[in-house]
Amino acid sequence: MITYLAVAFVLLIIGAIFYGFGIVLRRPPTKEELESSVCFLCGKRFERTILVERVIGDSKVVHFCRICISGLHADALSQPTSSSSA
């Protein structure tokens, strides 16, 4: 009976050690990660200075890269011109 308790205690200690390592290894974001953002469309990370930022709704901020904007622009130009009333 005592052996089972000892084994359970050792397993508990080992689990706590691995849990502690997980907390230690979870590092804060680097300066580079803080100054960059992910494009909302393609999901690639770019420097924030070359991204176009838009606010959707009240607080959601999204970023678009030039490649995706060019793609959207090309798609918009390829569509037939419609009148202003939908």
Contact positions vs Zn ion (CB under 5 A): 39, 41-42, 65, 68
Q: How many Cβ atoms from other residues are within 10 Å of residue 42's Cβ?
A: 13
Nearer to Zn ion, 37 or 65 (CB): 65
- Least separation in angstroms between residue 46's CB and Zn ion is 8
Nearer to Zn ion, 14 or 47 (CB): 47
- Least separation in angstroms between residue 29's CB and Zn ion is 20
User: Which residue, among 16, 62, 58, has the nearest Cα to 39 in the 3D structure?
Assistant: 62
Nearer to Zn ion, 37 or 39 (CB): 39
- How far is it, in rounded angstroms, from Cα 7 to Cα 48? 52
The token pair that represents 44 in the structure block: 């690639």
